[in-house]
A = this chain, B = another copy of it.
């Protein structure tokens, strides 16, 4: 099947469409036009139509979009019609917080393993999932299907652990370590760099204060 590559600008917006449509669905809204949605979301109607038409024609002239249908279709585009087994590497505060976050399951992401180097954490269970020693990872990967690995370990260890995961067959890494991972191009990496996010906030806070002063 031929897929023209979709720009990452479009991909970044898809989950937000999905969220708004989910809320409309909860509120029993049956149909919505690109114009109405654009007003709710603070984007242009043109952009919504352009974005959607990268994937097909989901609307109907004169009517708009059926909310439930569009929600389902965007879900499929995002791969949310599948189940994913997720392991968490690093059972520190953040790793445990992710493991405790039940909302991911609603979207099809199931935590099936948590690993750490610290022997003291071994045996502790989070929502029924026992923390295992990292040494058991290889054996675990052989006997379980794992689709995604969340990396919540210190920066210094991240590149090596990521490379190990790839050699064990992982193709998707959700990286919380504050470093870039250079992996083969068939391995997808999604970064969550909290420190960088906080720096953008402080930049904007500072910039807003300065522009406020000058006027």
> Which A residues are closer than 8 A to B by beta carbons?
1-3, 6, 11-12, 14-16, 18-19, 77-80, 82, 84, 92-94, 96-98, 100-101, 103-104, 107-109, 147-148, 171-172, 174, 178-179, 186, 188, 190, 192-214
Contacts and interface: CB of A to CB of B under 8 A. Distances in A.
Given A188-B208, A193-B15, A212-B186, A202 B97 contact: no
A183 to B, nearest CB: 12
Given A1-B214, A15-B195, A194-B192, A201 B103 contact: no
Contacts of A197: 174, 190, 192
Given A84-B202, A148-B202, A172-B205, 13 more contacts: A78-B203, A79-B202, A93-B96, A93-B97, A93-B101, A97-B97, A101-B194, A103-B178, A107-B199, A171-B205, A171-B209, A188-B204, A192-B194
B18 A199 contact: yes
A196 B109 CA distance: 12
Contacts of A190: 197-198, 200-201, 204
A145 to B, nearest CB: 13
A47 to B, nearest CB: 16
A3 B204 contact: no
A172 B200 contact: no
A16 B196 contact: yes
10 contacts: A2-B214, A3-B211, A80-B202, A93-B96, A93-B101, A101-B194, A107-B198, A148-B198, A172-B202, A192-B197
A9 to B, nearest CB: 10
A13 to B, nearest CB: 10
